[in-house]
Amino acid sequence: MTTTCPCNPNKLFSECCQPLLIKQRVAKTPVQLMRSRYSAYALGGYGEYLLETWLPSDASNLTAVDLSVRSFDWQGLTILRKSQQGDVGQVEFQARFVEHQGQQSVHHEKSLFRRIAGRWYYAGVAET
């Protein structure tokens, strides 16, 4: 089992993302939700969590089974910028990964988040 958290190797998984992934608590901020979603992708097997934290109107073509598949070897996460105004948040990040052919790559995204009834949801990629 993972001892350090995929989203931050300086934190224990059991004290960082695991409580969110196993639904013991919910994310308090867009950054916390983004980090937990990264950990879900990095570990694989948490498709249900990813689906439940996706804004329902944007997740209509997704399945928990598909989201549970660990597609890449995720190597690390860097938060570049974050902002929150009321119930809308944005997190810009870079996630490093190794593709199937062994090539190192970086996924760079500006994610949008919305809070509905006290819960944060991933709402897609911000337009630049």
DSSP code at position 80? E
Residue 75 one-letter amino acid: Q
From 123, 104, 107, 126, select the one nearest 115 (Cα to Cα): 123
Above 70 in pLDDT, residue 89? yes
Please, what is the average pLDDT of the chain?
Answer: 93
Which range, of 12-16, 42-46, 58-62, 86-90, averages the lowest pLDDT?
A: 58-62
* CATH-assigned architecture of domain 4-125: Roll (3.10)
CA dist 105 and 94 (Å) reads 10
Q: How far is CA 122 from CA 10, 11, 88, in A?
A: 25, 23, 10
2 or 64, greater pLDDT:
64
70 or 35, greater pLDDT:
35
